[in-house]
Amino acid sequence: MRAATTRKIDVVAAWSVDRLGRSLQDLVGFLAELSAVGCDLYLERQAVDTTTPAGRALFQMLGVFAEFERSIIQERVKAGMARARKHGTKSGKPIGQPPFSQAKVEAIRAELARGTGILKAARLHATGVCVVQRIKRELIASKVPVEGRG
């Protein structure tokens, strides 16, 4: 805007109308300031040139649609955040990992008790190796007597 008021430039080029302002009032005010100093506006994405009356009208219509789109996005974000808060999280995703079924844990324990290796037990029960390692550590910790530790 400073370059336009000092008449260093004749045309301000922008990528899109939504890059210029957040509301129709902002956009109209910006366009009025530009025209007051004798500067025009060109929007690349919409191919709008405000040197013509049709271009100025189209610019204002695009501003209305940009403001409408912004308000719709805000409503969706607020609705999503409210839904997430209702379910007890900020993002809507459950906190932590999903619970592992007790039947699967018992099956992995039985497999490990038979002497099956960690990799094979993980493959047989379609789970990760780290889950089987955790179950094996718990199994070992539960078998060691308290007096025998440390």
Whether CATH 3.40.50.1390 fits 2-86: yes
The SS3 call for residue 42 is strand
Strands 40-43, 48-49: pairing is antiparallel
Q: Provide the pLDDT for residue 2.
A: 78
pLDDT tens per residue, the chain (150 residues)? Answer: 777 777 788 888 788 777 777 676 777 777 778 878 888 777 777 777 777 788 878 877 877 887 788 889 899 988 988 887 787 776 656 666 667 788 889 999 999 989 889 999 999 998 989 999 999 998 888 875 545 444
> 97, 91, 136: which is closest to 117 by C-alpha?
136
What pLDDT, on a 0 to 100 scale, did the predictor assign at position 81? 83
SS3 state of residue 59: helix
Output the pLDDT for position 11: 81
* Main-chain phi, psi angles of 145, to 5 degrees: -65, 150
What pLDDT, on a 0 to 100 scale, did the predictor assign at position 150?
A: 43
CB 42 within 8 A of CB 49: yes
